[in-house]
Structure 1
Amino acid sequence: MTNEPIKGPASYFPSIEKKYGRPIAEWTALVQGRLPAKHMELVAMLKQEHGMGHGHANAIVAYVLAQDKA
């Protein structure tokens, strides 16, 4: 186990969970359920339907799409 700081989209996860009161697993499942929508369509959905800020929505979508490509 390392003490390196978390980088990339996952670095937003603690603040997303705290601010919106739902675990990241729920947010990622919500986005995965809307695939194969485009990146910005997914960001817009999180913003419009769930009141999420742009940076937080973008981080979740980027994370899900990166996992989908792996």
Structure 2
Amino acid sequence: MSAEPTKGPASYFPSIEKKYGRPIREWQQLVRERLPAKHMELVAMLKSDHGMGHGHANAIVAHVLAAEKT
């Protein structure tokens, strides 16, 4: 029985943890602390304050915002 591959923003999480050396929950908390900022403002914060690439920053923000809607 094989597990389904992770899809969507969460598929970036292993590489984000490896590249930036912090657990995803810490990145998600940084984003939550800035809410209710807009999506691109949060992406810009991760990029400028933490040196994160656009795709990785976007994946974290998208995942957090989707979870906040539920």
Name the TM tier (shorter chain). over 0.9
In the alignment, structure 1 residue 42 sits paired with structure 2 residue 42: yes
Q: Match of 1:17?
A: 17
- Cα RMSD, aligned residues only: 1.1
Listed as ranges, the gaps of 5+ residues in structure 2 are none
Listed as ranges, the gaps of 5+ residues in structure 1 are none
Cα distance in 2 between the residues matched to 1:45 and 1:63:
16
Please, what TM-score do these two structures have when normalized by structure 1? 0.97
What is the aligned residue count? 70
Moved over 3 A (4+): none
Please, what TM-score do these two structures have when normalized by structure 2? 0.97
Cα distance in 1 between the residues matched to 2:35 and 2:57:
15
1:43 aligned partner, one-letter code: V
